[in-house]
Amino acid sequence: MTQTADIVICGAGSIGIAVAYYLAQWGGGDVVLVDKHPPLSQTSAKSGENYRNWWPQPEMCHLMNRSIDLLEGLARESDNVFSLTRRGYVYATMDKTAVLSQTLPLYQPLPVGEIRLHTSSNTANYAPISPNWKGQPNGADILLDRDLIRRTFPHFADGVTAVIHARRGGDLSAQQLGMYLLKQAKRRGVVELRGEVVGFERDAGGITAVCVQTATERQTIHTRTFVNAAGPFAPHINTLLGVDLPIANVFQQKVAFDDPLRVIPRTAPFTIFEDSQTLPWHDDERELLQAEPDYQWLLGNFPGGLHIKADGGENGSWIKLGWAFNQTAEEAVWKRQRLSEFLDIVLHGASRLVPGLAAYFDNVSKPVAHYGGYYSKTPENLPLIGSLGVAGAYICSAFAGFGTMASCAAGDLLADWVCGTALPAYAAAFAPARYQDPAYVAGLAGLEKAGEL
């Protein structure tokens, strides 16, 4: 079967759907959205469902500020169908020295908003936490007063000496956002096609057709514009195009379970424990782990970045725990085996920050939701948005754990690329062409995690 389209998008996750929505919104032409599986069913189905503008790079701050602006606009027009909230992000640490000597100097020049310090002599102007996304403060509050920390976060360990409360952040329903954008995109003419992109036709001018294998036939879609939004499968699509970009897929996991003891307050913001740690195993557990070579790694040091969330809103009872400690790249597969020890690892680690969680050691109520998805990322953890260097081919990919929150700005930016409209100043930071600069590539060595959670 042969058909034509102005634009073909590969990938119906949160990014691909957002690209389709903004292309349709800005008059990009006839758009076909291709995916082998139902919309939002791979990485997008494992979203942490959070957003923030608190990033260590100015370009990421600009991208996320734009995305949040768009999210708030969509919340207004849809009567907040995707449950946008604004409790912020909380970063907790037992080392306030690092906050003052490293975090504060790094973030003060960035476009994150005003940063306010709250010490023992300055606690009165800390705005209370509220889920309402309207009228909340911007910037961040850094809590250095132990009494203020105890009053605000009574579930935290006594050893917490500093809390960063980034205020332009919160959570949302990734599925509801994606389905709302998809519905609106279809109203503007976007067509879904269930199938797998298996090849391309090209001439001297670039892309001429996209070959798609459906369940029943091979289809050829004649088009001059193609967008790779295939998430963890973007490297495979790049290979079909003859493009090589440094994208690695790293599998990360989360667990969610009932919290009948209400250890995590339902009103608590999404929380990150910044400190690295060794896990607090009991002596007998430690001896058993030490005796088994395959499990001795569980006695080692784990990085900071463990996250804790009250899941399901104020009327819910579940909590979600995640920890992106895996750094081993692998080829993406649709169904990947999960680490059976993950629940014990993340629960023990979370108890360092929230001691009350120790009550669930070997005592978590069933069922437990244990799932995982790929962090598809570049070495510097900046996404890829822009031309692939093949005429008519673009990419919108490598959103390592921040696809949902970045989707609107990313889709909007990719639409600018395709439609030939003026690009914002930060666009160059995400363009694939950055890897053609030898000085840029040389500077990638030894980079930190760059905002990865």
pLDDT for 443 equals 85
pLDDT for 123 equals 67
Q: Are strands 191-194 and 31-35 parallel, antiparallel or unpaired?
A: parallel
* 115-137: pLDDT as tens digits: 999 998 776 689 999 999 998 99
Q: Is the pLDDT of residue 453 over 80?
A: no
Percent of the chain surpassing pLDDT 70:
98
CATH architecture of 2-49+174-247+379-442: 3-Layer(bba) Sandwich (3.50)
What is the location of CATH 3.30.9.10 in the chain?
A: 89-172+249-377
| Residues in CB range of 106: below 8 A, 6 or more apart | 56
* 384-409: pLDDT as tens digits: 999 999 999 999 999 998 999 999 99
* 358-373: pLDDT as tens digits: 999 999 999 999 999 9
Q: Is the pLDDT of residue 343 over 80?
A: yes
CATH number assigned to the domain covering 89-172+249-377: 3.30.9.10
Instruction: Please give the mean pLDDT across all residues of the chain.
Output: 94
Could you give the angle at the alpha carbon of 441 between the alpha carbons of 436 and 443, nearest 5°? 145
Do residues 244 and 384 touch, judged by C-beta distance below 8 A? no
Instruction: Tell me the pLDDT band of 44, cut-offs 50, 70 and 90.
Output: confident
pLDDT for 43 equals 82
Spell out the alpha helix ranges (H) of 279-341: 283-291
Do residues 212 and 193 touch, judged by C-beta distance below 8 A? yes
Instruction: Tell me the pLDDT band of 445, cut-offs 50, 70 and 90.
Output: confident
Do residues 306 and 271 touch, judged by C-beta distance below 8 A? no
pLDDT for 451 equals 58
Q: How far apart are CA 449 and CA 377, in angstroms?
A: 10
What is the location of CATH 3.50.50.60 in the chain?
A: 2-49+174-247+379-442
| Closest to 165 measured CA to CA, from 176, 154, 149, 179 | 149
Do residues 15 and 403 touch, judged by C-beta distance below 8 A? yes
Secondary structure in 3-state letters for 227-295: EECCHHHHHHHHHHHCCCCCCEEEEEEEEEEECCCCCCCCCCCEEEECCCEECCCCHHHHHHHHHCHHH
